[in-house]
Structure 1
Amino acid sequence: METEEQAREYVNQARQLSSSGSYSKAFDLYIKAFEKDPRVKERCEPEFRVVLTQLNEVLVGAGKMEDIFFNFSKAIGAFPRNCHLLNDIGKYLYKFNFYTEAWDYFQKALAIDPSFVNAEKNINSIKNLLLERWHFRMLNDKIRNDAYYDAIKESTNRYKDSVLDIGTGTGILAMFASEFCTTAVTAIEASETMAWMAECVTQGNNMPDIVIVSKMSTTMNYRDIGGKRSLVVTEMFDAGLFGEHVLQTLSHAWEFFTIPTTRFIPNKAEFFVVAARSDHLNRKYQLGAAAKQLLDIPNMHVHMLADDETYDCEDIDLIKDVKYISEPKSLLQVNFNDYLDIQEKLNHTEPYEVQFTAKEDNEINIVIGWFNLYLTKNVTLTTDPRAENKATAWQQAVFFDNIPISVKENQVIDAQFLLNGGKLTMLPYCNTPVVKISPETLRFLNDDEYMKVIAGCIGMTCIYLGQMADMSDITIVDLSPFPLFGMLMLKRGAQSLICYAKTGSDKEFFKKVFKTNKVDWAKVTVLEGEDWDHEIFGDEKYHAIFCNVCDLCGDIDLRLREVALELKNNHLMQGGLFMPANVKLMGQIVNSPWLNINNRVYDGNFKNYKLAEYVNKYEVTQNYCIDFTTLEYTEVTKPTCLGPLYSEVKTEVVHFPITASGEANAILCWYDIELTEDIEAVSTKRPRSFIDGTLFLISPPVSLVSGRVACVVRLNDDDGSFKVAFRNEVP
């Protein structure tokens, strides 16, 4: 009894200390209590983890990493099989860049509780970080693989050449070279993870003589690789050809790794551009006419804030509304076998110019770029989206940051591009001022259907709230990417609005739009950035609260979800309006070959070499940012409701009636949003939705039979994280 009372006293003291911010002393007292009487551990575990989290936040601010993990070791001593603590350790290891160690802890947490969604998401994040997803499509590109194989075979002298592969990745090009060169093959890879994988791949394919060096090639010289090389191969290209710093890399290679007769693969490269129109793409980057009309800013040019990105990357052949307004033009060529040409490109400060001649009366709102790699005189690769035999390893570059221009047939348009810093940038056609806003705000406003629903509910909202109070007393919270609901309510005479701006640029844009709409900015409070939580609302209550908890990629923003629930439960006046009134998670089982090549490696795509067992360890269970309008898939079931977004059930099994026999490899997920109970739900699975889709992979794929039922399980963490998985098929 004395032991139990002493432990209880320690816990009471710990609670008092934690309430006053003395987290370190509180933590020590909890540990003492657990040691004194282990029976108190179970009931105190949640509050103990809260104190540990608060203590760690203080230690992070003080830069005391060792203390954090020392405390975790004590915590794990008390709770050795606590999956939440193991997951938290992984998060801090991730934060401090110990990625493989973090993976181990996330895996331990998931092994203890396979339904722990957060741990699985964290493992996916680690895998995406260590092995970027484009590696899968690149390795599965048989056209690219065969072309490099043929080029290396054609270019090597078995007994004379020594080969250097720069940016080897998984080591596939180095293995091609080793097949035709018995002298020496060295592969350089800056990423430690990729270098380790290249070691595994080359060893596993019985090519132990390939030397893998894990360093930046530009920090080395020939002594670091055992001598100069007579053949250099590389594939350091992005959609815009030069974005991976290939010019700087090969300039350095020329100076430090070569002999006078060294050859390079590719031999040459050429970049092409074409004027085009795609309203589908343009809406990702620029505010559309409907949104401008709604906001009464018809002459304002509003573009996406893109940081330092000068172009985006897209699979142009999948975009159905792309129309080429001109013929393609060659922008520039570079000869990688000519050192002076590489230097000229690196030092070229004047714009490269092309002239587009319009083939018809239309509008140019994007410029698309692609390249040819002339690997040898006889072997060429192209990323031309119109070509049937194009390489699929690379997407196409989309230059999006120019004001659209109307053109007449045969009209000539001058376009200029800079290669400063070794990356292509398109110069503006004119000097017209452009307002920049976050992708979240732009995509939200360009969702015409959702904007119409919001605008259409204002009248009924005013009638409803008018029964509670005079309109001049109505207070609003609108945490959407743009506070359209709040602005329209202020125009109707509401007293005040609290809204959220992701960036300072967004806040300035809000201010301009409100001023144009003659809304008193003094009535508006803007929460800028993400360094705030529900406590900022104090004890205030509001008549109407509008929240968006879905991010652009299709997942849940857990921070905004927590804020939304807090507002709904504690800051909504009795009888007040919380919007959306209901959000449902929807799902559909499908089969999509595109998902196979982007998520798994198949050995048949690279001659007789085996890579799958090494690369597929990095296969993830979920994909985000899925554009359902361009994803090609076959329906295996009809859309089925997976339950409300704000579900309090940890595990739910949902039956999907199978409507078509065939293989299934994914469960698509999206949301049906019901703003108010009397308004029809808006699905995010439609063109122009501001929320992309997400999907959960079924790996390996399963064969399903029409007329039967697929059992799908939905798992939910306490914080709102969810996952969906195929369980089995039943009659």
Structure 2
Amino acid sequence: MEEAARDYLTYARQLSTNGCYSKAFDLYILAFDKNPQLKNLFEPEFQIVLMRLNDILAAAGKIEDIFTNFGRAIKTFPDNIYLLNEIGKYLYKFGYYTEAWCHFQKALKTDSGFVNAEKNLNSVKNLLVERWHFRMLNDKIRNEAYRAAIHATITPIKDSVIDVGTGTGLLALYAYERKPMVITACDGSEVMTKVAEGITQDMGINDMIILNKMSTSMNYKDIGGKRSLLITEMFDAGLFGEHILQTLSHAWEYLLSNTGRVVPNKAEFFIAAANCNHLHLKYQLGDNAKALLNIPMVNVHILTYDETYDCEDVHLFKDIKYITEPQSLIKVDFNDYDDIQDKLYRCEPFSVEFNALEDGEINTMIGWFKLYLTENITITTDPRADNRCNAWQQAVFFDNIPKKVNKNETIISQFLMNSGKLTMLPDCNSDIMRISPETLRFLNDSDYMKMITGCIGMACVYLGQMIDMSEMSIVDLCPFPVFGMHMLKRGAQSLVCYAKTYSDEEFIIRVFKDNNIDLSKVNVLVGDDWTQDTFTDEKYHAIFCNTFELCGEIDLRQKDIAQHLKNAHLLQGGLFMPSNITIMCQLVDCHWLDINNRVYDENVSNYKVGAYLNKYQVSQNFCIDLSHLEYTPITEPTSLGSYTSGIRSEVVNIPIINNGDANAILCWYKIELMEDLGDISTNRSNSFIDNLAFLANPKIHMTSGEVANVLRCVDPDGAFKLMIDVESA
């Protein structure tokens, strides 16, 4: 029997080599059935065959066959965490989110240090419940204002209520407190509908109707008659971006009685012209970068991806200066159907006129709103107000050309209601080039650009010892090849570089032309439709790679390519950059991270919301600018070792400097481009990448003078996460 099993394995390997993965898979299973003792030895190669087979089946749309194979594989290897994770990934891909969650969680119960399973579980949670739900529910100012307004509006026993976009059902619960005749709540999210049902049922409320439907897909027959009051909180930073005008237009036609009312009664949107270098550099190429590239007069903006504004917590930007007073752009009466129609279908732009308070430059427009919940109860998202609601961020209209103004000068800006969403009209006819966020942020990182350009002379001296500049071949896979461009300008023979998008490729070509670079020397790799095989057998004298994602994560694909280039394509004695990347961390107590990941019942009038929503807490946050984050340090910043030289899972001991409850491990990197030339931290303002936070749940009390134990978990592919080791904490 053992000999037969060995024969099966030999044949399976032959079939696999020839790409016959289906037959090879069957023979591996037969071999393991014949001789179970072979399973541990041949498990890794069996997994590879299964993954390749499923890739082929997925391309052919044979979903049932994929899960049949997984079923047979997991029966053979019931505790294989990698198989559980792969099953979860396919379930996620095909929309079976609850089942995917179960598989990722099962893998983590077997190995809590399994990084990829945890990241995948976080992805499921983020998809099912968007993060803004947490900050909105923790906004006590907003919640209590809505509660007071709803109480003041409802006539007990007489009113019939519909809560549109109910979410957890909080506003419907406030309405229920006033004992109206009937309450219907609806939401398009199945998850949020189930959360609302769970909360109300636990309270013994059985006469509230909760529907998993968009209000715009219903009429009064679907809800048992027209309603006398509609309550809603369907607003984004730009007020209208959640299609509130379309929703209310439909509601007045199909869901509300002629004498119905809406809470909020009215809304008003304000605009202020401002100067903020940090915001400007997030969306447009700055003067320093233009000077570096020798394109001083070219307007270069971020790719918009059809977004007309971005959302930011503007009060965190300490360098913001308001050049004008805010002006009212639009005021809409939600209780007036004609006014809603007028605003929604208006073709003419809304104009706003400003007077400059001082000499300066306007490089951004900030928008916020005021909700008139009733005549006497209002809330605002004004970033200058101490009593603002933090449930919503502010709208940043980022696509205007910076404009110099003099004190008392009049400035006119125009906005369109574009499909129910505000769009700022361009104030001039200037041509604008578009590049990816990655490329723009990279070039606008002045400190990193100085470090790159500052090491070019040393690189030339080092490489000049092995070959003449005219024969030098370079690879620069950074978002923009600053190093490679300067080497070409010094006479290098060739450059292979990378463009994330075709817009980036156009930009690279334009800059190279403006710098009189011979494009025949340049090969641009665009997008992700290339692999390490693209480099065939070529050898290079200098290789500069970027292994970071914009959000702060390690880009595992680029990491693998970088490692391959270093090992297989770098000439002996050649230069590889960066020479070292160090992972840094710091344990902190951060309120902002807390309220964006956990609902506190005291903030929602002591309704038991947390028990239902907090199961969707995640263990990691991305895209964090630590220079704007308020927190109390529990430890000093600490090195967790070199990522470049390879890291393994281990516990790192860190001295505690302050008493407190640690709820996060902040994480960033130090980058050393060349040995002994110093390093640069990504934990600073205007860094080309954001930072990470690994979240502790629950908080862990720390005592000054003791030691915190941070567990650094690393998967075989290099993905890592950080955890506070609770057992030894």
- TM-score range (shorter-chain normalised) is over 0.9
C-alpha displacement of 1:642: 0.7
Give the Cα–Cα distance (whole angstroms) in 2 for the partners of residues 12 and 542 of structure 1.
40
Q: How does 1:310-459 map to 2 (within 5 A)?
A: 310-459=308-457
Whether the 8 Å CA contact 2:641–2:647 is kept in 1: the answer is no
The answer on 1:308 being equivalent to 2:312 is: no
Aligned to 1:159: 157
What's the C-alpha RMSD, in Å, of the aligned pairs? 1.2
Match of 2:506, SS state, is helix
Question: Secondary structure of the equivalent of 2:721?
Answer: strand
- Structure 1 residue 365: Cα displacement: 0.3
Deviation at 1:532, TM superposition (A): 2.1
Which secondary structure does the structure 2 equivalent of 1:26 belong to? Answer: helix
Structure 1 regions of 5+ residues with no counterpart?
none
Distance 1:111 1:264 in 2: 48
Q: 2:260 aligns with which of 259, 262, 267?
A: 262
- Separation in 2, partners of 1:531, 1:480: 16
Structure 1, residues 498-532: CA drift from partner, whole Å, max 9, x if none? 11111000000000011111111111111111122
Q: Distance in 1 between matches of 2:648 and 2:107?
A: 17
> What letter is aligned with 2:155?
N
State the Cα distance separating 1:675 from its structure 2 match: 0.4
Q: How far has the Cα of 1:4 moved from its partner?
A: 2.1
Question: Hey, what's the Cα distance between the residues in 2 that align with 1:34 and 1:612?
Answer: 47
Contact 2:274–2:363 (8 Å) recurs in 1? yes
**Which residue number corresponds to residue 484 of structure 1?**
482
**How many residues are treated as equivalent by the alignment?**
729
Partner of residue 33 from structure 1, selected from 18, 21, 31:
31
Alignment check: 8 A CA contact 2:155 2:180 kept: no
Q: Assess if the C-alpha contact under 8 Å between 1:285 and 1:400 holds in 2.
A: yes
TM-aligned CA deviation for residue 470 of structure 1 = 2.0
| 8 Å contact from structure 2 (residues 580, 645) kept in 1 | no
Q: Secondary structure at the match of 2:272?
A: strand
SS for the counterpart of 2:513 is helix
Aligned mates of 1:647, 1:343 — CA distance in 2: 62
List aligned pairs for 1:555-566, cutoff 5 A: 555-566=553-564
Taking the aligned partners of 2:364 and 2:663, their CA distance within structure 1 comes to: 34
Partner in structure 2 of residue 665 of structure 1: 663
Residue in structure 2 matching 1:505, options 503, 506, 522: 503
AA matched with 2:476: D
Match of 2:533 among 515, 519, 535: 535
Structure 2 gaps, min length 5: none
1:709 touches 1:730 (CA, 8 Å); kept in 2? no
Distance 2:606 2:574 in 1: 66
Report the Cα distance in structure 2 between the residues aligned to 1:580 and 1:60, rounded to whole angstroms.
Answer: 37
Relative distance call for 1:477 and 1:400 in structure 2 (3 A) is same
1:653-701: per-residue Cα shift (whole Å, max 9, x none)? 1111112222222111000000011210111011111111101112222
> Are 1:708 and 1:729, in contact at CA under 8 Å, matched by a contact in 2?
no
Q: Which secondary structure does the structure 1 equivalent of 2:231 belong to? A: strand
Aligned residue for 1:586, secondary structure, equals strand
Q: Is the 8 A contact 1:236 1:244 kept in 2?
A: yes
Partner of 1:180, secondary structure, is coil
Indicate which of 118, 121, 124 corresponds to 1:120. Answer: 118
**Structure 2-normalised TM-score?**
0.98
Residues in 1 aligned to 2:357 and 2:517: alpha-carbon distance in whole angstroms: 45
TM-score by length of 1: 0.98
Secondary structure of the corresponding residue to residue 58 of structure 1: helix
SS in 2 for 1:350: coil
1:249 to 224, 247, 250: 247
Q: Which has the larger displacement, 484-493 or 405-414?
A: 484-493
Deviation at 1:175, TM superposition (A): 0.8
Per-residue CA shift, 1:375-423, capped at 9, x if unaligned? 1111111111111111110000000001100000001111000002000
C-alpha separation between the residues in 1 aligned to 2:13 and 2:570?
Answer: 30
Residue 210 of structure 1 is matched in structure 2 by 208
In structure 2, distance between residues paired with 1:532 and 1:575: 27
CA separation in 2, counterparts of 1:160 and 1:321?
52
Aligned to 2:13: 15
Q: Aligned residue for 1:553?
A: 551
Answer whether contact 1:704 1:729 (CA < 8 A) is retained. Answer: no
Contact 1:646 1:720 in 2 (8 A): no
Letter of the 2:304 partner, please give it: A
Using the TM superposition, name which of 482-491 and 659-668 deviates more. Answer: 659-668
The code of the aligned residue for 1:672 comes to K
Q: What secondary structure is seen at the aligned counterpart in 2 of 1:487?
A: helix
Counterpart selection for 2:167 from 160, 166, 169: 169
1-structure distance, mates of 2:579, 2:198: 53
Tell me, what secondary structure is at the counterpart of 1:7? helix
Q: Does 1:61 align with 2:68?
A: no
Say which SS state the counterpart of residue 81 (structure 1) adopts: coil
Which secondary structure state, in structure 2, belongs to the residue aligned with residue 269 of structure 1? strand
Amino acid at match of 2:76: A
Q: Any idea what the Cα deviations from partners look like across 1:516-559, whole Å, max 9, x if unmatched?
A: 11111111111111122212222222111111111111111111
* CA displacement 1:7-41 (0-9 Å, x = unmatched): 22222222222222222122122112212222221
What is the alpha-carbon distance in structure 1 between the residues aligned to residue 17 and residue 449 of structure 2? Answer: 44
Q: Secondary structure at the match of 2:627?
A: coil
Show the counterpart of 1:718: 716
SS of the residue 2:191 aligns to: helix
Distance 2:626 2:606 in 1: 35
Task: Say if 2:154 and 2:180, in contact at 8 Å, map to a contact too.
Answer: no
The answer to whether 1:654 aligns with 2:652 is: yes
| Distance (Å, rounded) in 1 between the aligned partners of 2:44 and 2:105 | 22
Q: Which amino acid aligns with 2:419?
A: G
Shift of 1:472: 1.9
Deviations 1:555-593 (A, max 9, x none): 111111111111112221111111100000000111111
Q: Is the 8 Å Cα contact of residues 268 and 336 (structure 1) preserved in structure 2?
A: yes
Q: Distance in 2 between matches of 1:181 and 1:390?
A: 30
Q: Deviations over 1:149-207 (max 9, x none)?
A: 00110010111111000000111011111111342111110011111111112112332
Indicate which of 214, 218, 222 corresponds to 2:220: 222
Q: Secondary structure at the match of 2:239?
A: coil
